[in-house]
Chains A and B, each alone.
Chain A
Amino acid sequence: MKSAQHTGVIREYDLHAASVKAGYGVIIFLCCLTVMLAVFPLVWVILAGFKDLKEFVSSTRIIPESFSTEPFTTTWSQLGIAKNYLNSLISVAGSVACALIFNGLLGYGIGILKPRGYKVVKRLVMISLLMPATISIVPLFMNIQKFQMGNSFLPLWLSFGANAMYVILFEQFFESLPASIIEASRMDGCSQLQSFFHIVLPLSKPICAVISIFAINASWSDFLLPYLVLRGAEKQTVMVRLFVFSTEQTVNADAMMRSVVFAMIPPIILFFIFQKQLTENAVSVGIKG
């Protein structure tokens, strides 16, 4: 992002006019206001986490009376969130691996190998982009039960290996690779699979990084299918736990807010580390997803 280069409607010489100059001030003000609106709820929920139940339900002040971290540690251990964190970690790790391997290979097939008939696959993948995933959650759940995959992470991992958006992102990236390098490797006697792992993948680190980041976030945030699949308390992820809290109302309002904070911490960390990749790729992911 070249911030020095000005691309807006208002040109530099417009700023000589007093009215435009004032308008520019309004623009900056509105931008700051937007940022405040975007960030305030987040700041609030963290502040609310410091309040105990009595203060949370009765206090009409935003700022908590004390900033002791004790409520957080108590909720963490009482509700056993560590276990849920571990489960989420297992779920996320497997999902990212599946997202990269299976969608990558399919993208390799329709982007580079292009065997006879690949266009049918490409068309089918494009159509599935438009169909929201939740629409067929009932038969999908039945499929999982038929294959006896209930109460296991396996279907959740594998579901990330069937993501039309990731396939298309891979396919488009692979199409942009120079064909000569791949041909050269095939001339040297690499099999198709070898040239994928030795030539294509090392060249595809940027797209793998982007898909990993989005897959981490999507798999962390997912709770509908995980809720249906991970019925036992043993394997519940953080999000499934939060969903159970919210539907069964088994925890107090203050502990609920702290659980929300616990659920938001990993995505926020991810956001601060990878903000550049995220904002730059929001376009391709947003349009296709």
Chain B
Amino acid sequence: MSRQEKQIRTHAKLAGDIQSWMIMLPGLLLMTFFVWEPLFESIRMSLYKTRNVELVRFIGLDNFISVTGKDDFLQALQNTFSYTFWSLLIGFALPVLLAMLIGETTRGKGFFRTAVYLPNMLPGLAVIILWSAFFSGERSGVMNILLGKLGVLPQSYLTRAELVIPIIIVIATWKGAGATALIYMAGMSSISPELYEAAAIDGASVWRRILHILLPAIRKLAGTLLILQIISVFQIMYEPMVLTKGGPDNASLSLMQLMWQYAFGGAMNYGKASAVAVIVTLILLVMTAVYSYFNRKESDWD
């Protein structure tokens, strides 16, 4: 290849690269406008005193100090961990169990798969409003009707501090568990049936097959879904907003809801709202980092 030819090729490559970047440009601009710049901007804004959309002046960590010093922040932080606890208790093992049950069926598997996925398609807001009628304290509330058949007297649910968070988690689990179960089912179907056959020939009971073949095979998947579940619990916001307005007495107030209140709840304090957002982001980043650290360690052993 002569020097000239080489030069032409480099030019062609360069022209091609420029053309490629031009094709990606609209998408990149939108990602910048809607995702990347806002993430960066919320960090910057959290360090400023704001008035409406204007940054008035740099005030260092004052927003953070003022936000974290308030009682509602501590309550929301505690609530968010309480949400996580209940979500793991109610919602973590259930999809695994569902996937195992549906995976064992021979007839009607397609029907079961479809039916459990249905709630996931419904708009989250409509679901919350629907369930608010279930847990209504009136005599006509669905829970009171159903429990009334068992002789339980009508009672209120959403005004009881110890019940609101578990109820919100039950609703979220109703909506999401089926979709998660499908993911586990996909993981389980990649286990070779020959493994079970071989174990059965060696005399392993059904329980032992579950314990020693099925569960180890989905362990890594379960780890990934665990971290995704925690991330999604930290985003809980409109559920308490609509169902309980964060009450009773802030008992269901979540961190993201607190952020929304600072920004759009009348005060329009975007700086403090951003401070809350940054705190949530930091918690999520730490958890993701811890998870990927352990995940890497584990794959080293494999």
Contact = CB atoms under 8 A, between A and B. Distances in A.
Contact of A158 (B16, B28, B30, B256): B30
Interface stretch (B74-82, B83-91, B120-128): B120-128
Nearest to B274: A138
A282 B117 contact: yes
Nearest to A59: B140
Given A41-B130, A45-B133, A20 B28 contact: no
A136 B118 contact: no
Interface string B224-236: 1100100110110
A103 B27 contact: yes
A201 to B, nearest CB: 13
B112 A191 contact: no
Interface residues of B, number: 107
B7 interface: no
B30 A161 contact: yes
A118 B20 CA distance: 10
Given A27-B104, A128-B39, 13 more contacts: A9-B210, A34-B116, A135-B39, A135-B281, A139-B39, A143-B33, A161-B27, A162-B35, A164-B31, A247-B242, A275-B114, A279-B114, A279-B182
Interface in B147-163: 148
Nearest to B281: A135
Contact of B209 (A9, A132, A268, A271): A9
Given A1-B109, A20-B206, A128-B36, A121 B196 contact: no
Interface in A33-78: 34-35, 37-39, 41-42, 44-45, 48, 56-62
Nearest to A227: B264
Contact of B179 (A101, A113, A282): A282
Contacts of B288: 130
Q: Which 8 A-B pairs have the closest CB atoms?
A: A106-B27, A109-B24, A136-B38, A221-B123, A115-B20, A139-B41, A162-B34, A115-B17
A133 B256 CA distance: 12
B35 A136 contact: yes
A192 B123 contact: no
Contact of A267 (B106, B121, B200, B256): B121
A162 B31 contact: yes
9 contacts: A3-B109, A35-B112, A44-B134, A58-B140, A132-B231, A135-B281, A136-B41, A246-B242, A260-B126
Given A3-B109, A283-B183, A121 B28 contact: yes
Contacts of A268: 118, 121-122
Interface residues of A, number: 105
Given A37-B174, A192-B20, A267-B122, A134 B115 contact: no
A271 B118 contact: yes
B106 A35 contact: no
A174 interface: no
B167 to A, nearest CB: 13
Interface in A87-135: 101-103, 105-106, 108-110, 113-116, 118, 121, 124-125, 128, 130-135
A196 interface: yes
B224 A41 contact: no
B179 A162 contact: no
B113 A279 contact: yes
A13 B180 CA distance: 30
B273 to A, nearest CB: 5
B299 interface: no
A232 B130 CA distance: 26
A192 B23 CA distance: 8
Contacts of A141: 263
B130 A45 contact: yes
A62 B145 contact: yes
A205 interface: no
A188 B121 CA distance: 44
B101 A278 contact: no
A233 interface: no
A105 B26 contact: yes
A191 B42 contact: no
Contact of A139 (B30, B45, B183): B45
A60 B244 CA distance: 23
A210 B53 CA distance: 38
B59 interface: no
A177 interface: no
Contacts of B61: none
A206 interface: no
A287 B183 contact: yes
A74 to B, nearest CB: 19
A3 B116 contact: no
Contacts of B213: 9
B102 interface: yes
B37 to A, nearest CB: 7
Interface string A10-45: 110110000010011001101100110111011011
Contacts of B234: 132
A28 B33 CA distance: 50
A158 B288 CA distance: 29
Contact of B270 (A131, A142, A221): A142
B242 A23 contact: no
A115 B16 contact: yes
